[in-house]
Amino acid sequence: MDSEEVLAQGSRVELAASTGDITQQNGSISSSSSTSIDERNDGLRGYFETAQWTADGTTILTSSSSNLISGYIVPQDLLSPTAIRPLALNPQSTIQLPEPSNVLSGAPYFHLAEPWTQQLLVSARDHPIQLFYLSPTSPSSPPPKPASSYPLTKARSETFLTATSLVWPAPGTHFIAGSRNLLAKFDVSRTGEEPLVRIKTIPSERHLSKGGGVGMRGDVSALSAQPPDASYASLLAAGTWTCWVGLYDFAQAGSSCAVATWSVARAAGEEEAAIGGDGVMQTIWSPCGRYLLVGERKSRGVLVYDVRVTGKLLGWLAGREARGNQRIGCDVFPSSDDEGGFEVWSGTTDGVVKVWEGVGSREGTHNSAWGWNASHESTIGSTCVHQSGSVAVTCSGSWEFPDDDSDDDSSSSPSRSSNGVTNSDSDSESDVSSAEEFTWMRRRNKESSLKIWSMIGNGEEES
pLDDT digits (tens, 9 = 90+) for 190-203: 999 999 999 999 88
Confidence of residue 414 (pLDDT cuts 50, 70, 90): very low
pLDDT, tens only, 12-21: 899 999 999 9
- Report the pLDDT value the prediction gives residue 407, as an integer from 0 to 100: 42
For the chain, the structural domain boundaries read: 3-400+427-462
pLDDT for 413: 36
| pLDDT-based confidence at residue 138 (cuts at 50, 70, 90) | confident
**pLDDT band at residue 408 under the 50/70/90 scheme:** very low
Query: What top-level class would CATH report for the domain 3-400+427-462?
Result: mainly beta
Higher pLDDT, 273 or 69: 69
Give the model confidence (pLDDT) of 274-316 as tens digits: 898 999 999 999 998 999 999 999 999 999 999 888 778 999 9
What pLDDT score does 418 carry?
40
Residue 6 pLDDT exceeds 80: no
**253: confidence class by pLDDT, cuts 50, 70, 90:** low
Residue 2, pLDDT score: 54
Residues 139, 94: Cα–Cα separation, whole Å: 11
Q: What is the pLDDT of residues 85-116, one digit of tens each?
A: 899 999 999 999 888 887 999 999 999 999 99
For the chain, give the mean pLDDT. Answer: 82
User: Lowest mean pLDDT: which of 36-50, 332-346, 416-430, 448-462?
Assistant: 416-430
Higher-pLDDT residue of 270 and 235 is 235
pLDDT score recorded for residue 453: 97
Rounded average pLDDT over 239-263: 84
pLDDT at res. 54: 97
Residues 432-445 have a mean pLDDT of 60
Higher pLDDT, 259 or 32: 259
* pLDDT value at 415 more than 50: no
